[in-house]
Every structure is written in structure tokens, then in C-alpha cells.
Structure 1
Amino acid sequence: MSWTDIGRGLNVFDTEPVEGRSKWLDSPQDVLAFATSGEDVSDVVVIARGGTTTFVAPALSLGVRGVLTLQGGVESHLGIVSREFGIPCIVGVSFTEGRETERGETVPEDGTLLRLDTSGVPDGLVQAGGTPS
């Protein structure tokens, strides 16, 4: 499969690259619906607006594949918690492709196959290699 670079940010810690399907979680209600859906989330990369967005933390306990944020730094709440859970995390990601949110940000469509290259510090790379399901 070929991968296209669609975003860059700050890598929270070194891990092997991981792949998963994207899921935008924009509110506590989104997280609750995600957490109670009963679906297997082991291949999901959650995307949230900010690194201090503590309401996303329950998604980490479900065993998601990775975490991306549009804002924040490596010492932000989600960065620290993702490191504790051992879940790859890239913060402050600027996406070049995707859909526009209500606030005008660009994020991948839900279900897009993403690859998080978290093998280096300080830079993390997000690539897309699939289409929404």
C-alpha cells in the first residue's frame, strides 16, 4: 500500500509506526458514544482538538491504537496519559488533507486508514493510505 503524507506534529515518545482507522472525537458526548458503542476500537486512531482535552482519556482505557491532537505539546495531558498507556501520540498535528470541521480545521474523514510514524523525536508524521469505510 502506498502512503501519502497528510500531517505533521510533535511526537510524544518513540514507538514503532502504527496503523488504524481515524475517528474524530469533538465533544464529551462523542467520547461517550464511542466508549459505549461496543465496537472493537483496537484499530482506531482517535483525533481530538486539544492536548488538554481530558474528556478523551476514557478512549485510551479502551485500548485505541493511537492518538492525534490538533493542538497541544508533548507535556500536555493527553501526551502524558498516552505515554502512561503506551499508546502512540502525535500532538499539534497540522493536516493538509481531509474534511473541514465546524471551526475550520482540517481532519481526516472518519474511517480513513492512517499510519502514525512515531519513530523519531521531535517530529511525528501522519500518513493516509485508505478511504473512509
Structure 2
Amino acid sequence: MAVSVPDGTVPGMSDSPLRRVDTVFVKVDDPHAVAGWYQETLGWPELFRTSHIVVLQAPEGPPVTLLNPAGGEWSGFNFHAPDAAAARQWLIERGAEVGELNQAPDQPVTWFWFRDPLGNRLEVCSY
């Protein structure tokens, strides 16, 4: 049975700085080489690209980012927070293992990772 909440918020969640799933990541060897397939086969237009990613937009839902993490750790998606630094501090205060705050060199994006109790790497971004 679904619970109806009149104002659209979930009880106990209103103070969370993590507002939504922002981007879905797809791990590929060469984002630039495979982007055409997603565009032609799925019909998803390219939003932008950098030297190491291509971001596409599905008709509904969050953008899809094709990336090659170059052997490093990565997450399957990230959350959006209006202020990544404040979200990071919020998670630290709750005892989460949290990585450093990062700034993208070629985009106005700030992000960091954190882990859940099982060790899953999750990410947060703001822009």
C-alpha cells in the first residue's frame, strides 16, 4: 500500500542535501567512439563532451554519461546537491566515509564520493 504525503515530501527526508539522481554513468573503453551508436540507435542527442566523457540526453530522466574511468573506481550514477561542500560536510557529520571535494578542470562541476556501510562508492555533484 502506497503512503500518500500531501506536500510531496517523504517524512524524515526533508533535511537531506541529496536532492535527486543526477546522472547515470556507462563505463566504456572510448566514449567518443561509441557515442555515435547511442545517438543513432537510441536517438539520444549529445549535450556536450570533454576529453574523457560524452554526455547524452534520453527523452526522460537524467543524462547518461559515457566515460572511461581508466582503471580507477567509479560509480554507476551520482546524486545532485545544490552545494557539494555542504552535502559533504553533512555526510561527514553522519559518520560516512567521504572523499575529497573535486572541481572539474573544464566544467563548472564540483563533486566528491562517499561510501555506504557495505563499501559501495556513491558520488555527489553540484553545478
What TM-score does the superposition give when structure 2 sets the normalisation length? 0.32
RCO higher in structure (CA 8 A, sep ≥6)? 1
Structure of greater Rg: 2
Give the TM-score taking structure 1 as reference length: 0.31
